[in-house]
Amino acid sequence: VDVAVIGGGPAGSTAARLLADWGHSVAIITRPPPRPALAESLPPSSLRLLEYLGWRPLVDAAGFIRSTGNTYIWDSREADTGLAMRQATFGGMERGYQLDRAVFNDLLLAEAVRHGARLIDHATVVSVNAGVVAYRQSDGDHTVWARWVLDCSGRAGVVARLGWRRPLPRLRTLAIAAVWEHADGWPHIDPTHTVVESHRDGWAWSIPTSPTQRHVTMMLDPRLTSIATRQALREAYLGALDATPGMRGLTEGARLTGDPFARDASPYAAHQVAAPNLLLVGDAASFVDPLSSYGVKKALASAWLAAVVAHTCLEDARMLRHALAFYDARERAMFESLERQRAQLAHAALAGDARSAFWEERAEADALALASPNEDREIESLRGDREVLAAFEELKRRERIVLRHAATVERVEQPLVRGNRIVLETHLRSPQLPFAVRFARQVDLLRLWHLAPSAAEVPELYEAYQRVAGVVPLPDFLGALSLLIGKGFLVFA
């Protein structure tokens, strides 16, 4: 086949469906995920991505509970003293999804097959060697030969574990989940909300899967909790429930429908996620603490880009080096930004209880992740840059602008995504920035740079830009123009 996809989770199904749609022969080799399935929350910010990937009608039709927000208890002492939980409603009419992961997985996988991917199910991949994927089924061992292999096997990391994975031992986390049934529903909270509560030695969350059923999950540090037996697991769960008064209150009058079950939720990263004809995708590449609620979204985004990379290289092998470097940088950037968000949430929890070793360790972001260069982050941080702000003030002050191209600007070819291909396109480089730029927010800096000298006023330039490049919000346009001036791409004549 053109592409062997190992694992039929959200990442695997997404990559397989896209590649099949783009005309490639694809095999998904997968085994059933662990049962019972978790309940997971998808934030409203995932909607656009689901839409873009073509998953939205399917997910909408599945009838998942649509969440209207989150309820936080970031300091459990509040619940002790009877203070109300804090409710945060999503902005506008936004709604997230409360997923039963078993249903979600099955939907996506079936659709990938409907789009032409070949499913090799109940198969465990045991090795990958130069495109030969060996797997085991009940009737024996088999192989598939593939031009590209995508490791979408999640935490199992069939390829990822062969020296690519970088554990983050100080963030080890064990999730113990259980399903609760309350015949009358959940009287004190918004029934659609995810409820999140921190305590000194961990945190807990609860996600509804029906009006009467909720998963209530305890996140613990496995170094501090022994779970050698089923009984010990149950005791650890009930002990943690006891330490979270909000969750305890939530489950009062409810019935535990089965034994608590455990999942490793420890974060990890990777030294490298791309090699010739091989990519680590989704959780196989990295895992961010579930506190961020972005695991599935990250897996979908990663799968889309992996499909674009494989498609590009299958069509034009000369793009290999650029495509791999692009994928590696993007995956790193995504992990890094989620890692920083996670550390900020841990900071908030630490503020609630300053004596907590659990939160203190988690309040620091992964040092290696933060040390790596990240163009997206740099561009975002330019919004507060002194020279860019000075340029913005100057633009406001001047009635007329006469701009010319700075003589020191260089044009360089660098990769970006156009449709379903990675292509080399012109970027601009200035001695005042350590990286070349092409887009800032939605603004095409190259086009703006070309047009700028021909306009005499900012409104005229804004109109001229939109005529050729399409509508962009005025603040983004002004930010982009200020960047070009502040960082020496354009100078006032």
Q: Does 294 bind ligand FAD (CB under 6 A)?
A: yes
Out of 5, 30, 254, 461, name the contact with ligand FAD by CB under 6 A.
30
The DSSP string of 355-379 is T-HHHHHHTSPPHHHHHS--HHHHH
Residues 162-191 that bind ligand FAD (CB under 6 A): 175
- Using the contact rule CB under 6 A, the part of the chain among 289-297, 330-338, 357-365, 441-449 near ligand FAD is 289-297
Interacting residues of 59 by C-beta distance below 8 A, sequence separation 6+: 50, 97, 104, 107
Out of 71, 153, 430, 482, name the contact with ligand FAD by CB under 6 A.
153
- Using the contact rule CB under 6 A, the part of the chain among 85-93, 122-130, 143-151, 329-337 near ligand FAD is 122-130
Q: Does 41 bind ligand FAD (CB under 6 A)?
A: yes
Q: Does 341 bind ligand FAD (CB under 6 A)?
A: no
Q: Does 36 bind ligand FAD (CB under 6 A)?
A: no
Q: Does 10 bind ligand FAD (CB under 6 A)?
A: yes
Query: Cα(337)–Cα(320) distance, rounded to whole angstroms?
Result: 26
The DSSP string of 427-481 is EEE-TTSSS-BSEETTEEHHHHHHHGGG-SSHHHHHHHHHHHH----HHHHHHHH
Total interface residues for ligand FAD by CB under 6 A: 37
Query: From the CB of 423, what's the least distance to ligand FAD, in Å?
Result: 27
Query: Cα(353)–Cα(393) distance, rounded to whole angstroms?
Result: 43
Out of 3, 27, 29, 112, name the contact with ligand FAD by CB under 6 A.
29
Strand-pair category, 194-199 with 202-210: antiparallel
Out of 5, 15, 19, 125, name the contact with ligand FAD by CB under 6 A.
125
Query: Cα(109)–Cα(55) distance, rounded to whole angstroms?
Result: 11
- Using the contact rule CB under 6 A, the part of the chain among 35-43, 143-151, 373-381, 459-467 near ligand FAD is 35-43
Which is closer to ligand FAD, CB of 9 or CB of 415? 9
Q: Degrees (nearest 5) of the Cα angle 481, 484, 489? A: 145
Q: Does 40 bind ligand FAD (CB under 6 A)?
A: yes
Query: Cα(308)–Cα(322) distance, rounded to whole angstroms?
Result: 12
Which is closer to ligand FAD, CB of 148 or CB of 462? 148
| Cβ count within 10 A of residue 310 | 30
Q: Does 283 bind ligand FAD (CB under 6 A)?
A: yes
Sequence-ordered alpha helix ranges (H) in 88-229: 101-114
Query: Cα(8)–Cα(33) distance, rounded to whole angstroms?
Result: 8
Which is closer to ligand FAD, CB of 7 or CB of 479? 7
Query: From the CB of 380, what's the least distance to ligand FAD, in Å?
Result: 23
Residues 203-222 that bind ligand FAD (CB under 6 A): 217
Buried b (16+ CB within 10 A) or exposed e, 148-162: bbbbbbbbbbbbbee
Query: From the CB of 194, what's the least distance to ligand FAD, in Å?
Result: 7
Q: Does 290 bind ligand FAD (CB under 6 A)?
A: yes
| Cβ count within 10 A of residue 114 | 10
Which is closer to ligand FAD, CB of 27 or CB of 446? 27
Out of 65, 146, 152, 485, name the contact with ligand FAD by CB under 6 A.
152
Q: Does 44 bind ligand FAD (CB under 6 A)?
A: no
Out of 4, 15, 37, 38, name the contact with ligand FAD by CB under 6 A.
38
Q: Does 67 bind ligand FAD (CB under 6 A)?
A: no
Q: Does 295 bind ligand FAD (CB under 6 A)?
A: yes
Please, are residues 313 and 260 in contact by the beta-carbon 8 Å criterion?
A: no
Of 183, 26, 161, 33, nearest in space to 99 by CA: 33
The contact set with ligand FAD (CB under 6 A) reads 6-12, 29-31, 33, 38, 40-42, 123-125, 152-156, 158, 175, 217, 263, 265, 282-283, 290, 293-297, 299
